[in-house]
Structure 1
Amino acid sequence: MSSLDQYFWDNAICASPAKFRRIITRSFSSGDYLNCIRIIQHRVRENGLWFKVHVAFPGNSCFWSVSDKYFYNIDFPRGHIGLKSFDAEVIDEAGNSIPLHETYLHHWLFVRYYQRKHNSSDVAKHHGDLGLHGHDFVVVKNSGVCDYGLIQYFGLGSETRRTSTYVPDPYGIQIGNPEDIPSGFEERWMLNVHAIDSRGVEDRMGCTECRCDLYNVTVDDYDQPLPPDYNGGLRCCYDETRCRMRQGFKGVTRSLYLKYTVKYVDWYTSIVPVKIYILDVTDIWTTADESRGIKSRHRCQIEYEVPSCAVDAGNDYCTHTKSLRVSLPTGGDVVYGVAHQHAGGIGSALYGEDGRVICSSNPMYGEGNEPGNEAGYIVGMSTCYPLPGSVKISSGETLTLVSNYSNARRHTGVMGLFYILVAGSSPPNTVVHAPAEVHQTWMIPLSVWGVALFGGAIILVIISAFRYRIRKEEGYEAIVM
């Protein structure tokens, strides 16, 4: 733990539960779970960076083993800026990293949206794909082709700790442009965190693959019956479900937190904006046919099942391959690429129409027990950083996405996603100069989440935001809920 982190925890003071309830009820009412919170606000300087701290954690706990909640209007960097990276991990109340074999981070993701000013209401729990546009709420999707789902600006899962998300110079993900925000609205952000406590479970990998029999569910989160051939996936490990435990296991109560870091720069004209494309190997693409009045459709299923190979195969080298042919509405330079796979994944690649490799991304598996090296789990994905202008995609070019899994045994609820960042032609000799950096960290309580049977916990969020200052000035003050 760094000296700054130690300062966070050693210098916490108790604040009133009423104040906490006023903050947290932006997501949902949770005051009944709380006795006390501890908050500090402080600015310190370490290694030349400014830190703005807001730490909070509860004194009580609740009792659930799966959390899949949506937190609206979270603290996030404001203004006209260029996002440079997203990073996250689960930690405990002492700031220690939590290993995946204790709490499996299925995914976290950020969604950008506009909300009418002076309207504090949030979307209902069952919001579908969050793509509904109403009078007061407008989701800003990424540039991907999926009609439903996968609308996030970025998100990862178990691979979070060892996967680079950095957007290289001179590029940036542009947000907060006043010209893009509708009159009377303001830009906000939603965070979705899906995590599974797997301490004491009967089948740890089965729980992380969301096998329906282990969760003892027959209906999904919408109370709709599960199809007979649906063996596992997100429809079985929804919020507040429990995975089958070993007989006699008694969990220990603890508080957990999601710590995430956002790096960004002030926006200025020499930054090259990029578009975010998320491709899904399960996409069912219906091509347009104007003569028949058929519009192009992309029904992204998000997850799929990998069946086990034939029993008589007699080896551990069976491979299941799933592929997709798709085209993007616009082209440009590929500046970043990475795949998202689950345990059992053995790599994914994106190919151009002529067969060239646009990006190949392979999983890194852990070999130990410590956080970031958990045996049997994907702890990182390799990334692609082409030289500016060296890898191009043409408008309308047909791309092929391939996702490979080992199918020595069956895997349920797996994914085959591919993130790419695409820019227009890069101006020559363009670099981002950032002579001074300001780094702010604050932690806002956003939800209550239990992680232990016979015990429980509350999940909170630490937001760390690096602000690269173009002008030498005082540190940017954190916006507190």
Structure 2
Amino acid sequence: MACGAECLLRYMSIVFLLFMVQSSQAQLRSENGVKTDVFLSPMFVLEPGLVSNKVYYNIDFPRGHIAIKSFNGIDIPKHHDDLRFLRSDHIIIMNSGVCDSALPQYFGLGSETRRTSTYVPDPYGIEVGNLADIPDGYEEQWVLNVHAIDTRGAEDKLGCTECRCDLYNVTADEYGRALPLNYTGGFRCCYDSTRCRVKEGFEGVKRSLFLRYTVKYVNWDASIVPVKIYILDVTDVWTKADESRGLKARHNCLVEYEVESCPVGMANDDCIHSKISTFTWPMGGDVIYGVAHQHTGGIGSTLYGEGGRVICSSNPTYGTGDEPGNEAGYVVGMSTCYPSPDSGKIAAGETLTLESYYSSAQRHTGVMGLFYLLISDSSAKPDATEAHKSGMMSDSGWVVAVFGVGLVALAIFMFYRKSARGDGYEAIEG
């Protein structure tokens, strides 16, 4: 199957919990000029062990020329492989890189967003809806992919969320292609309608679910400094450019990897798996926000500039109880960075190093070591203290109740030809 820009959400399988809330209606509020819209995805149905991987087109999203200040999607009211839906009547607006064909989304969410600030500090914003950027005959739309795993009654909840192939009893991917012999777990084993093994005799009711996502934004004006989204991957197999041979730099991001358990008898504190990627940054700019994404077992990730300068270090917070937002064993937050001008500046051609660390006290499959950056190429220099204060604005403040499900939710920005039918996406079979 051909890929490149045609694979919206390639290889993405970020895992997080779904939550129940009480309201099912979209909400709109405004505070200090920042507007907040709350939307609901279309409904999907789960039962114990079942996987749902759905794609929703032209989802509800704020319209007009705006600056996005925050995007969160965690709770479920009312209780990656390649996606096969694209035609020639769309233009995907990918993030700014650096992966060649993987990770094109604007937003990808995990359970850690509950205790992670996603707020873009003033005077910055993610610009969308500029009519000057929309080709004639097209309109702006958003696409949402929701990948959910119901872990109620699972024999091994962690194994289910890590998509261990033996628990799903699969030997081929969703296209019928045989899995590599050394592939033991990951996105290829938990595609739509697969089932993770549950305890014998366990029964659970079907649940009708949908994702609630919250967008904070302001109307665009000349005082806002635009930022670009970059997603780095520690599995990036980087090939350096060779001008003498006419070869461009390549970033082959594998997205997921496996952590083998440490030798028997080694103390758990010494069981640390490290993965490192080094590459040359293609353009200069100022990092104004950074955060890592890791799965269960992650113990932190750091992005370094030349000379060992720390650009951003992001570490997970694990839950310790059973109340919502503090579930024991799950990542419930990631620390974020709002770098100072000195540490956050990246020069064009600078060599960067990304390091991702996991505990290897036990084996982990399908883990990730991603790093999400917002970078400005503007010369504007806001007051660092005020920017930091703005960046610490809380995106939580709501109460939810957990029932044990795993999920990936990704949002993609695209232009869609106006003359096309609203439901006119057809499957491209692999």
TM superposition score category, shorter chain reference: 0.7 to 0.9
Q: Percent identity?
A: 63
8 Å Cα contact 2:305-2:346 kept in structure 1: yes
Match of 2:286 among 328, 333, 338: 333
Structure 2 residue 106 is matched with structure 1 residue 148: no
Question: Which residue matches 1:93?
Answer: 78
Query: What is the deviation of 1:185?
Result: 1.0
Secondary structure of 1:313's partner?
Answer: coil
Structure 2 residue 153 is matched with structure 1 residue 195: no
Question: Which residue matches 2:417?
Answer: none
Go from structure 1 to structure 2 and tell me whether the alpha carbon gap of 1:56 and 1:206 turns closer, same or farther (over 3 Å shift): closer
Q: C-alpha separation between the residues in 1 aligned to 2:303 and 2:33?
A: 40
Question: Which residue matches 2:361?
Answer: 408
Q: C-alpha separation between the residues in 2 aligned to 1:79 and 1:151?
A: 22
Question: Which residue matches 1:253?
Answer: 206
Please list the CA deviations of residues 357-383 of structure 1 after superposition, one character each: whole Å capped at 9, or x if unmatched.
000000000001112111001111000
Question: Which residue matches 1:220?
Answer: 173
Give, as a single letter, the amino acid of the residue that structure 1 aligns with 2:305: G
Question: Which residue matches 1:75?
Answer: 60
Please list the CA deviations of residues 356-415 of structure 1 after superposition, one character each: whole Å capped at 9, or x if unmatched.
000000000000111211100111100001245652000111100000000011100000
Which one is further off, 403-412 or 386-395?
Answer: 386-395
Go from structure 1 to structure 2 and tell me whether the alpha carbon gap of 1:307 and 1:51 turns closer, same or farther (over 3 Å shift): closer
Q: Which has the higher contact order (CA 8 A, sep 6+)?
A: 2
Go from structure 1 to structure 2 and tell me whether the alpha carbon gap of 1:48 and 1:93 turns closer, same or farther (over 3 Å shift): farther
Structure 2 residue 50 is matched with structure 1 residue 65: yes
Pick the structure with greater CA Rg: 1
Go from structure 1 to structure 2 and tell me whether the alpha carbon gap of 1:166 and 1:429 turns closer, same or farther (over 3 Å shift): closer
8 Å Cα contact 1:388-1:426 kept in structure 2: no
Secondary structure of 1:206's partner?
Answer: helix
Q: C-alpha separation between the residues in 2 aligned to 1:353 and 1:264?
A: 35
Question: Which residue matches 1:126?
Answer: 84
Give, as a single letter, the amino acid of the residue that structure 2 aligns with 1:383: T
Give, as a single letter, the amino acid of the residue that structure 1 aligns with 2:373: I
Pairwise mapping of residues 56-455 of structure 1 onto structure 2 (< 5 A)? 65-93=50-78, 125-127=83-85, 135-387=88-340, 391-428=344-381
Question: Which residue matches 1:100?
Answer: none
Per the normalisation by structure 1, the TM-score is 0.70
Which one is further off, 232-241 or 174-183?
Answer: 174-183
Q: C-alpha separation between the residues in 2 aligned to 1:409 and 1:86?
A: 33
Go from structure 1 to structure 2 and tell me whether the alpha carbon gap of 1:80 and 1:368 turns closer, same or farther (over 3 Å shift): same
Q: C-alpha separation between the residues in 1 aligned to 2:336 and 2:272?
A: 22
Secondary structure of 2:289's partner?
Answer: strand
Which one is further off, 389-398 or 202-211?
Answer: 389-398
In structure 2, runs of 5+ residues without a counterpart are 1-20, 391-402, 412-422, 424-430
Question: Which residue matches 1:26?
Answer: none
Secondary structure of 2:180's partner?
Answer: coil
Go from structure 1 to structure 2 and tell me whether the alpha carbon gap of 1:51 and 1:88 turns closer, same or farther (over 3 Å shift): closer
Which one is further off, 284-293 or 233-242?
Answer: 284-293
Secondary structure of 2:313's partner?
Answer: strand
Query: What is the deviation of 1:219?
Result: 0.6
The root-mean-square deviation of aligned C-alpha atoms, in Å, is 3.3
Go from structure 1 to structure 2 and tell me whether the alpha carbon gap of 1:231 and 1:423 turns closer, same or farther (over 3 Å shift): same
Q: C-alpha separation between the residues in 2 aligned to 1:336 and 1:285?
A: 24
Q: C-alpha separation between the residues in 1 aligned to 2:181 and 2:265?
A: 26
Question: Which residue matches 2:6?
Answer: none
Question: Which residue matches 1:472?
Answer: none
Q: C-alpha separation between the residues in 1 aligned to 2:310 and 2:35?
A: 42
Go from structure 1 to structure 2 and tell me whether the alpha carbon gap of 1:261 and 1:56 turns closer, same or farther (over 3 Å shift): closer
Go from structure 1 to structure 2 and tell me whether the alpha carbon gap of 1:140 and 1:311 turns closer, same or farther (over 3 Å shift): same
Go from structure 1 to structure 2 and tell me whether the alpha carbon gap of 1:397 and 1:54 turns closer, same or farther (over 3 Å shift): closer
Q: C-alpha separation between the residues in 2 aligned to 1:428 and 1:316?
A: 42
Question: Which residue matches 1:470?
Answer: none
Go from structure 1 to structure 2 and tell me whether the alpha carbon gap of 1:425 and 1:254 turns closer, same or farther (over 3 Å shift): same
